Structure 1
């Protein structure tokens, strides 16, 4: 069976529009609209409730991501492996966010949010596997388009607009939910994955043979086989917590720690604008330079130094200097990481027949760390106040970089 190759002229626009369309609205709703609505329902317990939503979301995201990746890898349709799940996930996510906007209380909001979390991962797992459709000499460029450009727009570009809806957060859920469906649809049409109806399924055992415990354990290879993949995955979790410990509480950091008052909206917009500019810049240069000089592991590993530095700047300088310096450093670090980390993971996948499954698990770092980080941050806030968040971010970011540098199969 010949591997599906999609030209970069179709793949790159899809890899920019696609992740921006699901990640951007999710980031806005998770970091701004959801905390605002939770605060509206129960202000005295807002920190604990954010942690509750994050914990539940983490469980739902982990399960749905594995299921989505596995189903996508085994799908045969005239629209290819990925497109049916992308469109279905985007549609359900839109409906869930509309339901969240009309929630009258915390239990109904939690239910709608969990449905949205499940649907979101039916977008994430199949879409990141688009990178594997890239020609061999353009894989870093494709990865950079997805992570450096698409995710930079998602992580920061939408928050600039999202901050405008802080006083109309219920309307924001509806608008950004609809945007996800439209954006994912456009990206899917541009990529235009070919039919795989003629593709033969790879079977490793007769249909009548019972699944043994050994077979079940093989879903995740043992450490000696998947060592580098597991190192990349664990590093992603540490780096993600380091980043989202700050961004997940950015609204409360601005109001309760930095006391920005009526400047909160403008400060959030400034941070996200600076991070967007540097993220997009890295998206344009990191991938092509990686393809040209055949360097991958080192820039991914060292990108975490910028995140760690940015966290310290907010800790020591609790004013405009700290805010701007953090935005510059985090923008460079996240831009470099997002541009190349998916390709690094693709290089260390232990089973090339399950690309969407393993890339999907890896990309839980973009959703599951946003669930883990608020839980950790809530505990840190309770013990040490908001200042402790920045120390946690510093430590976790550095650990993530060190783990990346321990990967052996990718030399540099």
Structure 2
């Protein structure tokens, strides 16, 4: 069996912070702020339905491109490593597509540019999350915490603080954040300096390689008896993600149409993201090392969803700055704890260690898919029950997600 490639944690940690922050941050800003703002300008009467349309189309494109990117990177041999060529190719394509989106003069042009961007984004996501497998065995919790807790906390919340300043110049925002995404991803790649995969030995037997085919879905995804815990982790992530993005995906409209913040909309969004960023970073700093030391993983991931549910309840009952602050506090703790450890949990339940990028990529696809699914569910609920239904959806879905994680058997605690 070939020796597994590893990267020093001193190099891997900064790369795992800068990398996800660089692709997720610009995407979150564009998805939650710039895209709704542009749709409001292009077709204000259908803005809610159009957000759902873009989300549905994006979900389809993301699902396909993510699985392809993960599978291709698992089999790539280059002097830059398995993941780097695909990560940088995706970063360049995403930047160019977002620059194209900034010049869109109608919904159709915007949709085409956005779909290209969705495909490109997942050629960053699927290979990059597989960097976690490069961490030394006894420091994987620290690596996961860097990626999810710190990198994704910065991406989810840090960029929105700045992005809110570009609400009145959202076309320029598409360009600026597209460039930021490319430069940040390049810096992460240079820091990690992934080992060459030219000499990598394929441990799979020839007959096993021949059996693996995308034509046979049974060979792509194992049955429930083999992949039970992986599927429970993925389902849990989907429910938890919908619970989170049902609110964040419509945060602009919640502030303007539901909470009637008016001129305080920008400051309210910045308040939420600042609080969530602070607590997300705190969770990112401590959750991984504590998990490594105490050997506890499933319980903090599963119970983190309670905080998300409490945050949703606060906005449902309190339509004020206090309610907004409580939501931000609870969501910051919940998402920070989840992001810090959920990728490590998934790494523990992967059914086939020879396809790490594929399965981690599919799992991490939950970040993109839930951002696509949540607005569709929320839009349907809004049209029937009004904006307050978003918070009930968030509460219920978050709790279900946590229960799925706690049902995993192979990870004891």
TM-score, normalized by the shorter chain, greater than 0.5: yes
In the TM superposition, residue 129 of structure 1 has moved relative to its aligned partner by 0.4
Write out aligned runs for 1:276-315 (5 A).
276-315=277-316
Q: Give the 3-state SS of the residue equivalent to 2:122 in structure 1.
A: helix
Q: Name 1:187's counterpart in structure 2.
A: 188
Query: In structure 2, what is the Cα distance between the partners aligned to 1:43 and 1:218?
Result: 46
| RMSD of aligned residue pairs (Cα, Å) | 1.4
Q: Give the 3-state SS of the residue equivalent to 2:43 in structure 1.
A: helix
In the TM superposition, residue 283 of structure 1 has moved relative to its aligned partner by 0.3
Q: Name 2:396's counterpart in structure 1.
A: 395
In the TM superposition, residue 216 of structure 1 has moved relative to its aligned partner by 3.8
Q: Name 1:160's counterpart in structure 2.
A: 161
In the TM superposition, residue 199 of structure 1 has moved relative to its aligned partner by 1.2
Deviations for 1:333-377, whole angstroms, at most 9, x for unmatched residues? 000000000000000000000000000000011111000000000
CA 1:315 to 1:221, structure 2 compared with 1: closer, same or farther past 3 Å?
same
Asked whether the equivalents of residues 214 and 220 of structure 2 are also in contact (C-alpha less than 8 Å), the reply is no
Q: Indicate yes or no: 2:262 matched with 1:261.
A: yes
Q: Indicate yes or no: 2:90 matched with 1:114.
A: no
Q: Indicate yes or no: 2:356 matched with 1:355.
A: yes
Deviations for 1:49-74, whole angstroms, at most 9, x for unmatched residues? 00000000000000000000000000
Q: Name 1:335's counterpart in structure 2.
A: 336
Q: Name 1:125's counterpart in structure 2.
A: 126
In the TM superposition, residue 200 of structure 1 has moved relative to its aligned partner by 2.4
Deviations for 1:191-234, whole angstroms, at most 9, x for unmatched residues? 00111101123454459968789954111000000000000000
Q: Give the 3-state SS of the residue equivalent to 1:151 in structure 2.
A: helix
Query: In structure 2, what is the Cα distance between the partners aligned to 1:293 and 1:128?
Result: 24
In the TM superposition, residue 411 of structure 1 has moved relative to its aligned partner by 0.3
Asked whether the equivalents of residues 212 and 220 of structure 2 are also in contact (C-alpha less than 8 Å), the reply is no
Q: Name 1:40's counterpart in structure 2.
A: 41
Q: Name 2:97's counterpart in structure 1.
A: 96
Give TM-score scaled by structure 1 length.
0.98
Asked whether the equivalents of residues 97 and 113 of structure 2 are also in contact (C-alpha less than 8 Å), the reply is yes
Q: Give the 3-state SS of the residue equivalent to 2:237 in structure 1.
A: helix
Asked whether the equivalents of residues 95 and 179 of structure 2 are also in contact (C-alpha less than 8 Å), the reply is yes
Query: In structure 1, what is the Cα distance between the partners aligned to 2:46 and 2:246?
Result: 18
CA 1:174 to 1:364, structure 2 compared with 1: closer, same or farther past 3 Å?
same
Q: Name 1:274's counterpart in structure 2.
A: 275
- Number of positions where the alignment pairs a residue of Structure 1 with one of Structure 2: 412
Q: Name 2:171's counterpart in structure 1.
A: 170
Q: Give the 3-state SS of the residue equivalent to 2:47 in structure 1.
A: helix
Deviations for 1:258-290, whole angstroms, at most 9, x for unmatched residues? 000000000000000000000000000000100
Query: In structure 2, what is the Cα distance between the partners aligned to 1:96 and 1:331?
Result: 31
